[in-house]
Amino acid sequence: MRTSRRNWITALALVLMLGLGWWYRSTRPAPRAWTGGVMGTRYSVQVADPLPERRADALRRKVHGRLREIDGLMSTWNPESPLSHFNDHTATNPVSIPRELHRVVAAALETARASGGAFDPTVSPLLAAWGFGPKAEDRDPGAAELDALRARTGFERLRLLPSARLRKTHPGLQLDLGGIAKGYGADAAAAVLREGGVSDYLVEVGGEVRVRGRHSSGEPWRIGVERPGSDASGAARLQGVMQLTSGAVATSGDYRNYRLDKGGRRLPHLLDPRAGRPVRSDVAGVTVLADDAMTADALATALFVMGPDAGLRWIEPRPEEALFLVRSNGVIREIPSSGFETRAAYRSPED
């Protein structure tokens, strides 16, 4: 999988800056930290538990192996993955898939239904037509082409069946889990650490973050919310800081992965599946706080598509929290859900 929503360098830099910058304040050993590449992006792990070198190396290998395993199941860039085989199947009879893939597809479809289609794992042909994804074309599609593509997209055309089977109702339907798989990967890597007896960790996969416990300083893990745009030097800036001892964070935004159309207008890689077109709004980004990274990952996309009015109405009854960053008269305005600031212990980066 190639990263499709965030610049991993920025995400990693923010995590390291906010976490590793506190090492000198701690009387405990500095966290074990490592990075790697998988799923078409980068990941980073910090473990605050004091670990012998041999145990740390074993965990490092297990985390990397687990992420490679997930990539092998869900990559649309790998023609031999089970997901690619399903996409290549141009018939409507049921196809058996690995049970783990079946569970992730079930979660994606649950979010698609709950969001009224604002999140949809079948939009990859539309993304390609607008110039994004593994089969992207550098052009702007016309109305007739979009209508034809929409006829073979839509989560309603995917049937999840018992015994780990999946069926298309249109032979041209394509499934892409890029909007949920990195979050699932962060959760899976965190599970490897927990099973290895680790109680204090931070895992980040392509910008999706899962944390537990505390930094070696004794303080909560600090996660930065990036301010859309950059300073004069091109460096990322912080909008705010979350302080967490458990949970997960994901962000969707239009300021990293976009292209310009023929008229010079910015086209974000985030599509409104219901319209078949890139989202055009004043929303610059949405950060979601949830119990697990897979949920946060999918909801960040859905809320970006919905926008703050509909999005806040939708998320308020739910257990997750969200922060919308909206462009308004040349400044970024924060619009949080009612419990976001308290649950995230959110504050200005200067505090």
- Cβ-count burial of 329 within 10 angstroms (0-12 exposed, 13-18 middle, 19+ buried)? exposed
CA 160, 68, 220, 14 torsion: positive or negative? negative
Give the number of other CB atoms < 10 A from CB of residue 202: 29
Find out whether 179 is annotated in a ligand binding site: yes
301 marked as binding residue: yes
- The pair of three-digit structure tokens given for residue 291, joined into one six-digit string: 């119990």
Q: How far is Cα 130 from Cα 146, in angstroms, rounded to an integer? A: 10
Give the pairing type, strands 283-290 and 277-278.
unpaired
Q: Which residues are annotated as a binding site for Mg(2+)?
A: 179, 297, 301
Binding site residue list = 179, 297, 301
